Amino acid sequence: MENNARRRPSLLTLLCCTAVFSCGGPPEKEFRAGAAAVDVTPQAWPLPMVGSFRYRPAESAHDPLHARALVLDDGSLQLALALVDSCYIPRSVLDEAKSRAGKATGMPASRMLIAATHTHTAPPPAPGVGLRGPEAEAHTANEALYSEQLIQGIADAIARAHARLEPAAIGWALTAVPDEVFNRRWFMKEGAIPPDPYGGVTDRVRMNPPRADPNLIRPAGPTDPQVAVLSIRTAGGEPLALLANYSLHYVGAIPPGQVSADYFGEFAAAIAQKLSAPASFVGILSNGASGDVNNIDFTKPRPRREPFEQVRRVARKVADAVAEACRTIDYEPRMELAMAERELQLALRKPTREAYARSRKLLASVSPADYARPHIYARWAVDLHEGPATTDIKLQAVRIGDLGIAALPFETFVEIGLELKRKSPLQPTFVIELANGAEKYLPTPEQHALGGYETWLGTNQVEKQAAVKVSQALLDLLASVAPNRP
């Protein structure tokens, strides 16, 4: 009995040890989150819309455009994730928005990820950006006004989200919506593929072929049906914000003459309704690797639908799947964050001597009224020939617990996204394209060999091995932010 008594610690000893551990040890860090959406619908009309090879003036908005931001804080690091209802946004515009947001919040630009959703019915993000005809020149003043509105709106969204930081819990889930994604590049029977804009006849695949065409053989690539869901609740259990990711280019079929956020904006409204969320809730849908994926089943005739009907249908289907996935999430009140970025220099493609000479001759003889797709590609070829030899791009990796996000400034082929998801040291990982810049299409070397719209000089402007270099750099970044594991 005496020996047992000597070995048993006294109540006073236990109390002292507990006090030292709880009071003298490092305090647990509080996880916080804040979210905000700022309306960036144009105020001055008309404006041209980007995302087409023809002049499309907009006189009004079918539905509002927004900059939506989510700020996370683990007690040691703060980071911002923002999505903007735009087709694409040049790096210079986003850098200015980050600078303004940094001044308002104290957050460094290296802790901000900003991407375009890729709606094809949005105004130019800067004056002179996009495919232009002579009619568009009359709207340059309105474009300048809109660019300033857009920059400030993005900065305000991040600043407001930062100001709303509050204790929160976070979790994630994966689901899938496979029947709304289709690879848009198709192998065709001999003679069914028209020449490229430079007069070549070497393409082996065709982008967006005629529907239900007897010349269709098979798609030239896969799709990614996965929907990743990052969900945040307040400490009281109320929905605070949600970030989803789906690899679908856009839907379209918007009423003519109107800007629209496409299915990205419709999803934001639908998910708020399905979660019975408060008015302060911010739903966000980001675009995954979808450069060669769209919403068209080319094996069937075009269905008869009213304008915007397909947008609503797809958005609500994705929102249904996301809302159901949210039921499975275990929310954590503590979550470690990490983020890293790097610059990668890539060579810019140059036209052949013959293509350059042909392009200059074509541009010298065209009248403004006859300006069409061949002239657009001729201008791109001349600009690439006479421009710099390289471009610097920004790549980013984010870690939220064991979840990873890879961000890159391209319309990215789905194979690249699938490879990043498969090889990432963080599981799950999802990809956000058109982030921190707009560098046009990024096909794999294998898809380059097949030709087609996304590989043409001008539509694609970086070296043909760029996808390999970008993928490896992103995997290195993801490894740099991954926690050490035995």
Q: Which of 3-7, 13-17, 197-201, 481-485 has the highest mean pLDDT?
A: 197-201
Q: Are residues 363 and 231 in the same domain?
A: no
Confidence of residue 486 (pLDDT cuts 50, 70, 90): very low
Confidence of residue 131 (pLDDT cuts 50, 70, 90): low
Residue 140 has a pLDDT of 82
Q: In this predicted model, what pLDDT tens digit does every residue of 203-213 receive, in sequence order? A: 999 999 999 99
Tokens linked to 484: 């050490």
Average pLDDT over residues 450-468: 98
Q: Are residues 138 and 262 in the same domain?
A: yes
In a domain, 17, yes or no: no
> What is the residue-averaged pLDDT of the chain?
92
Q: Are residues 137 and 228 in the same domain?
A: yes
Q: Are residues 274 and 163 in the same domain?
A: yes
**Number of domain units in the chain:** 2
Q: In this predicted model, what pLDDT tens digit does every residue of 360-384 receive, in sequence order? A: 999 998 776 677 888 899 999 999 9
CA 27 to chain centre: 37
DSSP letter, residue 28: P
Average pLDDT over residues 322-341: 98
Q: Are residues 37 and 132 in the same domain?
A: yes
Identify the residue with better confidence: 104 or 7. Answer: 104
Q: What percent of the chain has pLDDT over 90?
A: 85
In a domain, 401, yes or no: no
Confidence of residue 65 (pLDDT cuts 50, 70, 90): very high
Q: Are residues 317 and 362 in the same domain?
A: no
Task: Report helix, strand or coil for 470.
Answer: helix
Separation of alpha carbons 391 and 438, rounded Å: 11
Q: What percent of the chain has pLDDT over 70?
A: 92
In a domain, 470, yes or no: no
Tokens linked to 279: 């008015």
Residue 8 has a pLDDT of 39
Helices (H) and strands (E) counted in the chain, each on its own, are 11, 23
Separation of alpha carbons 321 and 271, rounded Å: 10
Residue 129 has a pLDDT of 78
Q: In this predicted model, what pLDDT tens digit does every residue of 162-219 receive, in sequence order? A: 999 999 999 999 999 999 999 999 999 999 999 999 988 899 999 999 999 999 999 9
Are 270 and 319 in contact by the 8 Å Cβ rule? The answer is yes
Rg of the chain taking only CA atoms, in angstroms: 25
Out of 357, 386, 415, a domain closes at 386
Residue 12 has a pLDDT of 34
Q: In this predicted model, what pLDDT tens digit does every residue of 22-61 receive, in sequence order? A: 344 455 789 999 999 999 999 999 999 998 787 888 999 9
Q: Are residues 331 and 354 in the same domain?
A: no
Burial of residue 200 (CB within 10 Å: 0-12, 13-18, 19+) is exposed
Q: Are residues 94 and 164 in the same domain?
A: yes
In a domain, 440, yes or no: no
Q: In this predicted model, what pLDDT tens digit does every residue of 135-145 receive, in sequence order? A: 656 678 899 99
In a domain, 79, yes or no: yes
Confidence of residue 431 (pLDDT cuts 50, 70, 90): very high
Residue 373 has a pLDDT of 86
Question: Does the pLDDT at position 274 exceed 90?
Answer: yes
Q: Model's pTM, two decimal places?
A: 0.92
Distances (CA, A) of 161 to 105, 153, 240, 435: 10, 12, 11, 19
In a domain, 262, yes or no: yes
Distances (CA, A) of 151 to 101, 111, 156: 10, 17, 9
Q: Are residues 362 and 281 in the same domain?
A: no
Q: What single letter denotes the amino acid at residue 464?
A: K
Q: Are residues 112 and 251 in the same domain?
A: yes
Q: Are residues 373 and 226 in the same domain?
A: no
In a domain, 48, yes or no: yes
Q: Are residues 45 and 116 in the same domain?
A: yes
Domain that holds residue 107: 32-184+216-299+306-336
Confidence of residue 111 (pLDDT cuts 50, 70, 90): very high
Average pLDDT over residues 57-85: 97
Out of 360, 386, 412, a domain closes at 386
Average pLDDT over residues 448-474: 98
In a domain, 6, yes or no: no
